[in-house]
Amino acid sequence: MSKRKIKVLVAKPGLDGHDRGAKTVATVLRDQGMEVVYTGLHQTPEMIAEVALQEDVDVVGLSILSGAHMSLFPRIREELKARGMGHVLLTGGGIIPVEDMETLHSQGFAKLFGPGTNTVEIAEWIQAEVEKLWSEEGAKQ
């Protein structure tokens, strides 16, 4: 019968026209058996959170190369929470300095990935994290 599949939203927030990375990651996650929704470019935090809700995703992966991550990422987190989607695994990647990654991590973001990351590593990390979340959810039921 249908087995639960990991559903991932790959999103491009803000004024950033470069989505080769996002598309590459989306394709790799697809090839690892996940169901991947891609938003397209120039999404506002509200739009990303709304899509996450409508699609009931397990993971939101943000791709950003514009440098606006410190203002956009926390807002996306707030918008997700406001919609009852605070439980999703929130991750991302792009050009993000290590200090910023640490700050975002302390704000509740999971691991963030920089340039040169092995794509399969991202997929395996997501797989492991979501399975953890699902087993916690199962324990609560």
Partner 1 sequence: MRDPKTIAAKLFEGDRLALSRSISWAEDADPRFPKTLACIWERVGKARRLGVTGPPGAGKSTLVNELARHLREADRTVGILAIDPSSPFSGGALLGDRIRMEDRTKDSGVFIRSMASRESHGGLARASVDACDVMDAFGFDEILVETVGVGQAEYDIVGAADTVLVVLCPGAGDGIQAMKAGLLEVADILVVNKSDLPGADRLQTDLEEATHTRDIRRDGWEVPVVGVSAAKDEGLDKLLGAVDDHRAHLERVGLEAVRRQKRAQQVKRVVGERLDEELWGDGGLGGRVDSALNAGSTAYDIAELLLQDVLGGKLMAQTRDSKTEAAH
CA distance 64 to 43: 11
CA 33 – CA 85 distance, rounded (Å)? 23
Does 38 bind partner 1 (CB under 8 A)? Our answer is yes
Q: Which stretch binds partner 1 (CB under 8 A): 28-36, 71-79, 91-99, 109-117?
A: 28-36
Let me know: does 11 contact 106? Beta carbons within 8 Å.
no
Q: Is 137 exposed, middle or buried (0-12, 13-18, 19+ CB in 10 A)?
A: exposed
By the rule CB under 8 A, 3 interacts with partner 1: yes
Window 97 to 116, contacts with partner 1 (CB under 8 A): none
Provide the 3-class DSSP secondary structure of residue 1.
coil
Choosing from 17, 20, 84, 128, the residue that interacts with partner 1 (CB under 8 A) is 84
The window from 42-50, 60-68, 94-102, 112-120 that contacts partner 1 (CB under 8 A) reads 42-50
Contacts to partner 1 by CB under 8 A: 1-5, 26-27, 29-40, 46-47, 50-51, 53-56, 83-85, 140-141
